[in-house]
A and B are shown apart, each in its own frame.
Chain A
């Protein structure tokens, strides 16, 4: 064989072996594999909600989720903001229920994997979370006595088949809640303790049914996942699983120089924790200090894991028990959101501060200081090409 033809053979072998496929180091390959949806562990049982995996409870929960009767004025349901055809969010910078809230609606895919709920983690279970908007005057604006009456009148039989007999509520005031208007609070305080307990129990069960339904909302497989499965197996991604050079650059930045994967890790692209990343406040909204105020709220919540309405034993309450309760890092810290599907649901951040992924990536590249507390992120000096590549990669999580 001539020297020239040996060289030709070498080049052909090299092309076949690597040049036609993305080249990742072993470390990169491992990180890519760790992000694949196929790595998402099965949902853990929620022992604090013994109805969590009861199909009839999930069915009732889904009815309640879409029922505008579950609001003070009969016009708002969970699904008003968590829209089923919009990844269970509403495309608005701040959610609008009965009034305008100060926070962006969170999507629900995979939500049951979270240890904490809401942007600031002010609830510690999916069922305790579901109760909160029901009584928030800006969201569903109802009160728990009215909800108990409504459930008995409208879904009494279905409810009793799941949760057992409902007691006689005829002496319960039509409207009463420890969180309501002055009149509702007075009515609540005048109720005998046993009656308040019964109303609270019905109220908690509403949350448990809605949570059972929400547990079924899972993130769908994306182009990234098909790509990642092949990369992890050392195969060449084909067809729509193949990434463009720009998408590969974006992925390499995401798991490398841009440090996105530090917080956006695992198959849900979130560490489930809280970080101050210097996202600016929105003018005109009430002061919002994030996690630092939420720890008090979750501790005070009667429906938290330590409360009387938990099923099972307190061994399920370790997140609450070992919660960080104080410290400068909690100031303006918000939960790392999952990035699955994010590309098709602007605007972004906890109060819809950024209207496009370009703005989000520009923020993380520039890393401005936080108005209060200290931002955990540092300037990246990404080029235009690099920022565009990150956005191109993020789109593969929504295709």
Chain B
């Protein structure tokens, strides 16, 4: 019986050592950019000028389809932002390539809502869309993560 305990303890010790080694390797390994856990569809812009919401116009994302999305802009006080100039860029940070299309803000739909047309996600993985927004209140930027 004593020898069985000894083996068990030995096993536990080895497991702990392995876990320690793995932890050190993991913590010191160079890290590729990771998809931010931040996949929220609504966020405050970088300089806190606007609250932006970005969502697919049809509610679902279909890979490989040219789709329109809606960007809704409000001031931090909740007033809709009208007459904004919006430019869009982005890509896949882990693949180091840009967007396969050039999405544009094509229509103002009222109530701070802008149609962003020409969005296409050709691959599964982590995509980023960067918006540069210019309106009466000033200019600001916001980044949305989309994971397919």
What residues make up the interface of A, taking CB atoms closer than 8 Å to B?
115, 262-263, 265-266, 271-275, 318-319, 321-325, 327, 329, 376
Of A262, A265, A324, A329, the residue contacting B102 (CB under 8 A) is A324
Q: Please tell me if the beta carbons of B66 and A271 are within 8 angstroms of each other in the complex.
A: no
Partner of B63, one of A115, A263, A265, A376: A265
5 closest A-B pairs by beta carbon, nearest first, are A322-B118, A271-B122, A322-B101, A273-B100, A273-B122
Chain B contact patch, size range: 20 to 34
Contacts of B122 in A (CB 8 A): 265, 271-273
B78-86, B91-99, B138-146 - interface stretch: B91-99
Looking across the interface, which residue of chain A has its beta carbon closest to that of B67?
A: A318
B97 touches A322 (CB 8 A): no
**Contact of B97 (CB < 8 Å), options: A265, A318, A376:** A376
CB of B64 within 8 A of CB of A322, answer no
Can you give 19 A-B contacts (C-beta < 8 A)?
Answer: A262-B95, A262-B124, A262-B125, A265-B123, A266-B64, A271-B64, A271-B100, A272-B122, A274-B100, A319-B101, A322-B102, A322-B103, A322-B104, A322-B117, A322-B120, A324-B99, A324-B100, A324-B101, A327-B98
Chain B residue with Cβ nearest A324: B102
Question: Which listed residue (B101, B117, B124, B125) contacts A323, Cβ 8 A?
Answer: B101
Give the distance to chain B from A306, nearest Cβ to Cβ, in Å: 15
| CB pair B63 A266 closer than 8 Å | yes
Which residues in B have their C-beta under 8 angstroms from that of A321? 118
Most buried by A among B103, B104, B123: B123
* Interface residues of A, dominant DSSP: loop
Give B99's nearest chain A residue, CB to CB.
Answer: A324
**Chain A proximity of B137: nearest CB distance (Å):** 28
Closest A-chain residue to B119, C-beta based?
A322
In the complex with contacts A262-B125, A325-B102, A376-B95, A272-B64 CB distance below 8 A = yes
Smallest beta-carbon distance A12→chain B, Å: 29
B66 engages A318 (CB within 8 Å): yes
Q: Which A residues lie within 8 Å of B98 (CB)?
A: 324, 327, 329
A323 to B122, CA, bound (A): 14
Residues of A within 8 A of B118 (CB): 318, 321-322
Q: How far is the CB of A216 from chain B (nearest CB, A)?
A: 22
**Residues of A contacting B125 in the complex (Cβ-Cβ under 8 angstroms):** 262
CB of A120 to closest CB in B, whole Å = 14
Tell me which residues from 100 to 148 in chain B have a Cβ below 8 Å from any Cβ of chain A. Answer: 100-104, 117-118, 120, 122-125
A146 to B104, CA, bound (A): 42
Give CA–CA (A262, B92) in the complex, Å: 12
Contacts of B101 in A (CB 8 A): 319, 322-324
The answer to whether B124 touches A265, judged by C-beta atoms less than 8 angstroms apart, is: yes
Of residues 59 through 92 on chain B, the ones whose CB sits less than 8 Å from some CB of chain A are: 63-64, 66
**In chain B, what residue has the closest Cβ to A327?**
B98
Residues in A neighbouring B100, C-beta threshold 8 A:
271, 273-274, 324
CB distance from B100 to the nearest CB of A (A): 5
Bound CA–CA A266/B124 (angstroms) = 10
Which chain B residue shows the least CB distance to A275? B97
Q: Which residues of B contact A271 (CB under 8 A)?
A: 64, 100, 122-123
A325 to B117: give the CA distance in the assembly, Å.
Answer: 16
Q: Which residues of B contact A272 (CB under 8 A)?
A: 64, 122
Inter-chain CA distance A321–B98, complex, in Å, is 17
Task: Please give 14 more A-B residue pairs, beta carbons under 8 A apart, in addition to A273-B122, A275-B97, A319-B101.
Answer: A115-B66, A263-B123, A265-B64, A265-B123, A271-B123, A272-B122, A273-B100, A322-B101, A322-B104, A322-B118, A324-B101, A376-B95, A376-B96, A376-B97
Bound CA span A327–B124, Å: 22
- Taking CB atoms, residues of chain A closer than 8 Å to B97 are 275, 329, 376
Interface string of B38-53 (1 = CB under 8 A from A): 0000000000000000
How near does chain B come to A25, taking the closest CB pair, in angstroms? 15
Q: How far is the CB of A325 from chain B (nearest CB, A)?
A: 7
Complex alpha-carbon distance, A318 and B102, angstroms? 10
Which among A263, A271, A376 has the greatest number of chain B C-beta atoms within 10 A?
A271
Q: How far is the CA of A275 from the CA of B96 in the complex (A)?
A: 12
Closest B residue to A266 by beta carbon equals B64
* A327: B residues at CB distance < 8 A: 98
| Chain B positions within 8 Å of A329 at CB level | 97-98
A45 to chain B, nearest CB (A): 15
Q: Which residues of B contact A115 (CB under 8 A)?
A: 66
Chain B residues lying within 8 Å of A274, measured Cβ to Cβ, are 100
The interface residues of chain B lying within 8 Å CB-to-CB of A273 are 100, 122
- Bound together, the chains give a CA A314 to CA B64 distance in angstroms of 21
Q: In the bound complex, how far is the Cα of B24 from the Cα of A82, in angstroms?
A: 58
What is the chain B residue whose CB lies nearest that of A259? B95
Nearest residue (CB) in A for B122 is A271
